[in-house]
Structure 1
Amino acid sequence: MTENHTRFEKVDYKTLNARQKELFNFQKIAATLADYGFNCIKLADDWQGADFLAYHVNGTSTLKVQLKSRLTIDRRYSGKDIWMAFPHGGHWYLVKHDCLIEKVLANTDWLSSSSWKDKDKGKYHSISINPELLESLTEYKLGPIYGLVLQV
């Protein structure tokens, strides 16, 4: 009689295709949000700008979340009650997009950039966050990230 064994080996993130990386990263943020009482449901497409929904155990809070590999602001998310999730320094950050724009405005010159001002693009992203902006995001810091994630 032979046993049916499954051999578990960690996946090399760099070998995953774009869709697989997105699902991988969703599972990582979902694990962190579970610690805060959220059940996350991945959406098949960007429904109202969200990659996934996070339902809180209180039964009254539902977040529409856009998952990014770095801090990102994008005009198409403005005014839509979208929360931005991104990793930085071993932790996840989860902040309302419109609040993030306010913090970016107060602590950077990103809104003066050509990529933000371009009416067709209207977005800005960066893996580098200055200390002032990072300090202003402290209350939105979750964590930690479980294992390796979003490696460039």
Structure 2
Amino acid sequence: MKLQTVHYAELNARQQESYNFQRVSGVLADYGFTTIRLTDDWQGADFIVQHIDGEQLSKVQLKGRYTLAKKYMDKDLYICFQDRGVWYLTPHDELLAWAQQNMNIINTERVVENSRLVLVSTSVSSIEVVS
């Protein structure tokens, strides 16, 4: 077996999603979670997390960056993304409400309704990180 480091930017979109899933699964394992990757989005989720306590089970949408979308609203769904080497896992609808109240976004509701809202240049330091 030949082990060679890959360069994320050289991976295609599907490979990047697999890479991100593996990376975040390792981080979540440190907090007692196992992950189950779904082959097809189920109720908006890319994967399921289950805690070793047997009581916490959540659907998660994995993104390459801070992303909000109408199609994820009201689905009891978490959004997981990385920013500057830090993984964030937060309820989508709570993040959307926070963004609408705290960020200078023009026509946020319209943007969310008509497509998806992607914020890549905004500080996310005020977002609660679930750990």
TM-score (normalised: structure 2): 0.90
Give, in whole Å, the separation in 2 of the partners of 1:85 and 1:49.
Answer: 12
What root-mean-square deviation, in Å, do the aligned CA atoms of Structure 1 and Structure 2 show? 1.9
- Is the 8 Å Cα contact of residues 110 and 124 (structure 1) preserved in structure 2? no
**Correspondences of 1:28-67 after superposition (within 5 Å):** 28-67=23-62
Residue 92, structure 1, aligned to residue 82, structure 2: no
2:5 matched residue in structure 1: 10
- What is the number of equivalent residue pairs in this alignment? 131
Residue 108, structure 1, aligned to residue 103, structure 2: yes
Instruction: Name which one, 1 or 2, has greater alpha-carbon Rg.
Output: 1
Provide the secondary structure at the position in 2 that maps to 1:29: helix
Residue 136, structure 1, aligned to residue 118, structure 2: no
Aligned-pair CA distance for 1:7? 2.2
Report 1 or 2 for greater relative contact order, CA contacts < 8 Å, sequence distance ≥ 6: 1
Structure 2 gaps of 5+ residues are none
Deviations for 1:8-28, whole angstroms, at most 9, x for unmatched residues? Answer: 111222332221111111001
Residue 25, structure 1, aligned to residue 15, structure 2: no
- Is the 8 Å Cα contact of residues 110 and 116 (structure 1) preserved in structure 2? no
- Is the 8 Å Cα contact of residues 100 and 108 (structure 2) preserved in structure 1? no
Structure 1 gaps of 5+ residues are 1-5, 143-152
Give, in whole Å, the separation in 2 of the partners of 1:86 and 1:64.
Answer: 14
TM-score (normalised: structure 1): 0.78
Q: Which of these residues, 91, 114, 118, is aligned with residue 125 of structure 1? A: 118
List 4+ stretches of structure 1 deviating above 4 A: none
Give, in whole Å, the separation in 1 of the partners of 2:75 and 2:52.
Answer: 23
Give, in whole Å, the separation in 2 of the partners of 1:27 and 1:76.
Answer: 25
Provide the secondary structure at the position in 1 that maps to 2:100: helix
Deviations for 1:80-105, whole angstroms, at most 9, x for unmatched residues? Answer: 01100011121001100010011101
Provide the secondary structure at the position in 2 that maps to 1:136: coil
